[in-house]
Structure 1
Amino acid sequence: MSAPSRSRRAAGPSLYISVDVEADGPIPGPYSMISFGAAVAGRHDPDGAYVPYDPEARTFYRELRPISEDFNPEALAVSGLDRARLVREGAEPSTALREFSAWVREVSAGTQPVMCGYPASYDWTFLYWYLLRFTGGSPFGHSGCLDLKSLYAAKANLPLRAVAKRTMPRELLPGRPHTHHALDDAVEQAELCSNLLRWRPRG
C-alpha cells in the first residue's frame, strides 16, 4: 500500500463548520468577541467525496458580554450591535463557549470538525483564544482551520493578494446577502465553502 493510501485510510472524514465572528476590536483580550455564528457546511470523506449540507439546518449563534471596557467604535459599528445592551444581556463567554463546544461535538460525531472562514485568520484568532480562555480547549484542536481565501487562491492558481470575492467566478458566490450578522454570514460562508470544495477550474 502506498503512503498516500495509508494516510487517507488513517484519516477520518472532516466536517466543515463555517464560523463568523463579530468583535469590537482587532485582537482578543484587550477587545471582545461580541457575537459569533456557526453553520455546518458539509462532509469531506477521505476518498475525496464532498457532501454539501443545507447550511441553515444545523446552526449556532450567541451574543456575548464584553470582557473589557475597551472597544473600537468603527469595529463595533460593523455589527450594528448595541454594546450597552450586551453588557447587560449578553451571554457569559464561559457559558456560551462551553455550549458551542458541546454543539460542535454533537454535530461532528464520527467526523473531525474543521472550522472554515473567509478569511479565517481573524475569526479563528478570536474563536480559538476564547475557547482556550473560557473552556481550556478547542473541539477543532490547534490547527483544524480552513481558510477559504487560500483554498480559492490555490485552486485558481492565483497569488493570495490578488484574491477577492469580486475576482471569483459568479457560480462560486453564495446567493445570500452579506449582512454582518454573524449567523447570516456564517450560513452564507458555508455555501461558499461547499461551492469551493466542489469547484473544478476549467483547464
Structure 2
Amino acid sequence: MRLRKKWWARPELEESVFFVSDAKQLKGKWNEKFKNNNDIYLELGCGRGGFVSQAAVKYPNKNFVAVDLKDEVLVYVLRKIEEIEVENIRLTAMNIMGINEVFDKGEVKRIFINFCNPWPKERHKKRRLTHTKFLTYYKEFIEQGTQIWFKTDDDELFEESIEYFKESGFELKYLTRDLHNDDFEDNIVTEYEAKFTERGIKIKFLIAELL
C-alpha cells in the first residue's frame, strides 16, 4: 500500500534536533552529532520506530541511527521518541542503496534489519536488504567483528539470506527459525513481530558477524 504524501511531514522533521536532513555530511562525524563517543547502532528500514525507540531506552549508552525512505513514516518515529524523551536516536530519510556514503569505516558497530520487504520475485531479489549486493555496501563501513542482526517472518527470505551472508564473508553466530520458543534473551519485539506472532507465524532470526 502506497503512503499518501503528507506535505507537513518534512517541515516537522526538520524542526527537530533528532532529524538529519543530509546524512552524508556527517560521514566520520556522527559522534559529534551525538556529543559523545558511544557505539553507533544502525537500523535499516525502521518503520514507525517500535524497535529503535525500545532499543534506545534499553541501551542508553548506545547511539542509534534509524533510516527509512519516507518522511511520512519517519514523522511518526519522531513523535514516538519525543514522547519517550530519549536523546540517543537520530533519524534520516534516504534510499538505503546510498548507505555506504553515510558512515566511515568502523563508525557503525552493529546493524539491525527487522522485517524488511522480502521481494519474492526473482527479478526483484537484489532489492533485499540482506542480498549480497547490499552486504557489499555495508562492508564498506563496517569492520571485522561487526554484527548484523536480522529478523523476518518470511521463510524463503530467511533461507536465502543465510546463503547471502555466507557468500559475503560473514559467520553465523546465532540462528533460530522459531525465535519466541528459543532461549535468546535479548529480543526486542517490533510491531510487525507482535502481529505475526499473534497469527501463529514463527519468527526467524540470525546474527551474522563479519570475518
| TM-score (structure 2 length as normaliser) | 0.28
Higher relative contact order (CA 8 A, sep 6+): 1
- The structure with the largest alpha-carbon Rg is 1
Larger helix fraction of residues: 1
| TM-score (structure 1 length as normaliser) | 0.29
